[in-house]
Amino acid sequence: MLPSDPEKKLSFARCIKDGDLVIVYEKHDTMKAVKVCENSVLQNRFGLFKHSDWIGKPFGSKVFGNKGGFVYVLAPTPELWTLVLSHRTQILYIADISFVIMYLEIVPGCLVLESGTGSGSLTTSLVRAVAPTGHVYTFDFHEQRAASAREDFGRTGVSSLVTVGVRDIQGQGFPDEYSGLADAIFLDLPQPWLAIPSAGKMLKEDGVLCSFSPCIEQVQRSCETLRSQFTDIRTFEALLRSYEVHEWKMDSSQDEGACVGSPPCKRKQQSGARSGSQGSTASTTVMARPCGEARGHTGYLTFARLRCLS
């Protein structure tokens, strides 16, 4: 039932081909997903770029436009795909995704159940974690959202490792065919406590469940339900703080009392002093400071391990 063909490995260690999906990187906050088509062009503020010039180049290449400007054509890794995908629902970002994969103990070969699929941000990372011999079965009650996610997985080349189903997991539970087979389960539902009894039946002995909820009231009710079947119940909030790193030119006359993490202040020239005078030497320093805009609370992650009956 699970794919074992080595050709189905999730790998971008090859050259770009006609029909591939690439991430066009202009700068750290400007990226877009583009399907390579030999006769197409991309036009942006850096110039006009022919897709035909990309074909045959390795992922990660720097490509130039007609005006001398350049962009990078990158592989659609789960991290980059999370930054450019269409937001059909609220998505999980890198901090939460990393935490989920670690605490769910997901490794190649695992069978993972997920509900709901949403925009597929987490699903893509789950697929990479279980590849090449595992599989992710993801469910969403919204038929159009499921269809859009299925299409996206095809574009990113992971469709052989993920199956998208349309099902109301809160009302119907997971399909019985997965009973006792799941290594891990992830829930992103408004009322996760309704799906927890079914999730317990799907997990292997000692399997792990994670529920993502934006509100603490949802967490409290979920924990009450988890206590009947699960143990080692823990809740986390993952907050990521990014820093901006800049290189600054400064000289020996720079004020020592300048604030750390701020651009060095230009010292007023002394009367009669000339640039490049003896005793003043230019140097370069790298400074880091917190980003002005940082994502705050996204949600709470509640983990629990299925209680062994023996």
Binding site: what residues are annotated? 119-122, 140, 168, 188
Q: Cα–Cα distance between 26 and 18 in angstroms, integer?
A: 21
Instruction: Extract the annotated binding site for S-adenosyl-L-methionine.
Output: 119-122, 140, 168, 188
- The total number of residues shown for the chain amounts to 310
Q: Cα–Cα distance between 305 and 310 in angstroms, integer?
A: 15
Lookup: tokens for 56: 């045959």
Under a CB-based contact definition with an 8 Å cutoff, are residues 304 and 209 in contact? yes
Q: Cα–Cα distance between 186 and 151 in angstroms, integer?
A: 21
Provide the residue type at 39 as one letter.
N
Closest CA to 77 of 116, 25, 22: 22
Q: Cα–Cα distance between 122 and 299 in angstroms, integer?
A: 14
Q: Longest Cα pair distance anywhere in the chain, in angstroms? A: 88
